[in-house]
Amino acid sequence: MNNQMTGAEAMVRMLEAYQVQHIFGLCGDTTLPFYDAMARLNHGITHILTRDERHAGYMADGYARVTGKPGICEGPSGGGATYILPALVEAGESSIPILAITTDVATTSRGKYPLTELDQVGLFKPVTKWNASLDQVNQLPAQIRAAFRAMTTGRPGSAHLALPFDTQKAAVDPELIWADPSHAHFPAARQCAEKEALETLAELLLAAKRPVMICGGGPLIAGAMASVAWLAETLNMPVATTVSGQGVIAETHPCALGVVGSNGGVASTRAVVDDADVVLFVGCRAGSVTTERWRSPAHDKTILHIDSDPMVPGANYNTAASVIADAGLALAALVDIIKGKDTDGIDFDGQARAAEAWAKKLADFEPLAESHQRPITPEAVIHHLSAQLDDDGIVVADPGTPCPYVSAHYRWRQAGRHFITNRAHGALGFGMAAAMGAHIGRPSVKTVALMGDGSFGFCCGEFETMTRYRMPITSIVFSNATYGWIKAGQKSGFGERYHNVDFNRTDHAAVASAFGVKSWRVEDPTELPEVMRQALDHDGPTLIDVISQPLHEAAAPVSEWVA
């Protein structure tokens, strides 16, 4: 037995082989062998202890988005498995690879009513790309390799492995421990574009008169920013993004249009899409938010589509040309094709169209951004944060108040992953934990978490984690004592019949201070710039509790609320 290792030790060694440096999680009875192996072995992996499993998963998500490496989270059986599941749902739908390892009762105890028994494989099957229970210890290394291969190839997604207690203690052959290093990052094993399909797409694009490119998260994940900028500049073509695609192009680029769609899009950006004759979707599923429930673009446009998932092009629009490939490889190949063609006479007037859209948007934004009204406008918060946060900073926004305002009005000055939000399922409480994961993954830049007070109630326990690891994250709470998104929907669509959406105002600054976070409460908008400066400059965790205008009274950039 001297040449053997335990299943728990094998799990640690496999994670080490995949170059894992951080794990986010929470201990439990069924996890004891795994934690003991982590404690005894020399592996170079840092375990971040969280206060609940849900936020461990969200931390892994934020970490993966800024590092390009799969995020790893773990939790115990029973409640731990149920709590960690929401993070896998969000990551899987957002094409972000995170692996959840949930320990489990011994296989020999199944069916005997042991404490925390649960059909973990059945629970996770509908929401993951790969899902297995490691019942046979000598299959453990191969199944871990399969999980990393599934997470990082094709359209990336989430994975789950159940690790029974007896598997953790059983003996495994060390010769089975090896990894494929190409799956330690994503996207891996990228699919190239078929030349004939790309040639057809290029011909239709170059024959257009007023095309627009709409980029989702695909080109951002694939690192296609240079190709997007080249196409914009060479063809003078406007480039819009989805909320998840922000960062594909710097929004100060002359051809950048900003976000389109019902969450963060505005009338002037929508007009550019509606006026287009050709729409090129790239790494974007053309879902309900991006397309205003499939109304913008209209169905009489010529639609071109590039996506790594063959099920996406043609799902919502009749598509004239589709290319199934990694967005980075497809756009690079498209650039090469266009370089070989005569484009001297092609000018899609992108700079003028984008400039007109921004001018109209800014005309509406600036008076509210500079307003001294109380409660403080969300526009003022975004304005002062944008003015003071470094260009390489990271902003993580929860759904509700933060997301549409950041998407519409925070004008990103650098391309790249600087903005994170959970646009697939929009669960409250995501932002702070994802910001913590992003900080661990990219500690050299400033990270800011934006949340409503509804979200604050979901996640405030993790302030203890933030202070314990002394993460210099600045949290900003839009405090308006209501579930604002729902109240705005009741106003616009249900005759202002407000039912059970309001709650008592919390002194968020006092709560955060009790955890050791340096905090401010701001009611006077003239105090906001100085407080923002102090919070961003502080070398530890900070929080600004902003008494803010509720969404149902605000000029929120959400089209369904606009008359």
**What pLDDT sits at residue 562?**
80
Are the folds of 195-353 and 370-561 the same?
A: yes
Spatial distance between the Cα atoms of 345 and 283, rounded to a whole number of angstroms? 28
What is the average pLDDT value for the chain, to the nearest integer?
97
Mean pLDDT of 432-441: 98
Q: What span, in angstroms and rounded, lies between the C-alpha atoms of 142 and 172?
A: 12
d(CA 487, CA 502) in angstroms, rounded, equals 8
pLDDT of residue 560: 87
Q: How large is the average pLDDT for residues 152-179?
A: 97
- Please, are residues 308 and 187 in contact by the beta-carbon 8 Å criterion? yes
- Indicate the range of 346-350, 483-487, 522-526 predicted with least confidence: 483-487
Amino acid letter for position 309: D
Mean pLDDT on 41-61: 98
Q: What is the mean pLDDT of residues 116-135?
A: 97
Which H/E stretch holds residue 25?
strand 22-25
Per-residue pLDDT tens over the stretch 324-377: 999 999 999 999 999 999 998 999 999 999 999 999 999 999 999 999 999 999
The second-level CATH assignment, the architecture, of 195-353 is: 3-Layer(aba) Sandwich (3.40)
Q: Over 90: is that where the pLDDT of 302 sits?
A: yes
Instruction: Say yes or no to pLDDT of 2 above 90.
Output: no
- In terms of DSSP bridges, do strands 46-49 and 239-241 run parallel, antiparallel, or are they unpaired? unpaired
117 φ, ψ (degrees, to nearest 5): -65, 135
**pLDDT tens sequence across 210-256:** 999 999 999 999 999 999 999 999 999 999 999 999 999 999 999 99
* Environment class of 506 (CB within 10 Å of its CB; exposed 0-12, middle 13-18, buried 19+): middle
> What's this model's pTM, rounded to 2 decimal places?
0.97
pLDDT of the residue at 115 = 92
Between 195-206 and 327-339, two packed helices, what is the crossing angle to 10 degrees? 60
**Is residue 48 a contact partner of residue 26, using CB atoms and an 8 Å limit?**
no
Spatial separation of the C-alpha atoms in residues 312 and 324, rounded to whole Å: 9
d(CA 445, CA 62) in angstroms, rounded, equals: 14
First vs last C-alpha separation in the chain: 74
The answer to whether 424 and 90 are in contact (CB under 8 A) is yes
Show Cβ contacts of residue 395 under 8 Å, excluding neighbours closer than 6 positions: 385, 389, 406, 410, 418, 419, 420, 447, 448, 450
Q: Are 355 and 254 in contact (CB under 8 A)?
A: yes
Provide the β-strand partners of residue 216: none
For residues 224 and 326, what is the distance between their CA atoms, to the nearest angstrom? 10
Is residue 195's pLDDT more than 50? yes
pLDDT digits (tens, 9 = 90+) for 7-17: 999 999 999 99
Neighbouring C-beta atoms of residue 131, cutoff 10 Å: 22
Domain ranges of the chain: 5-183, 195-353, 370-561
Residue type, 23: I
- Sorted by sequence, the CB contacts under 8 Å of residue 294 that are 6+ apart come out as 286, 288, 316, 317
370-561: CATH homologous superfamily?
Thiamin diphosphate (ThDP)-binding fold, Pyr/PP domains (3.40.50.970)
Domain 5-183, CATH 3.40.50.970 — does that match? yes
- At 313, is the secondary structure helix, strand, or coil? coil
What confidence score (pLDDT) does residue 1 get?
A: 42
**108 contact partners, CB below 8 Å, separation of at least 6:** 166
Mean pLDDT of 447-464: 97
**101-to-124, 405, 437 alpha-carbon distances in Å:** 11, 35, 17
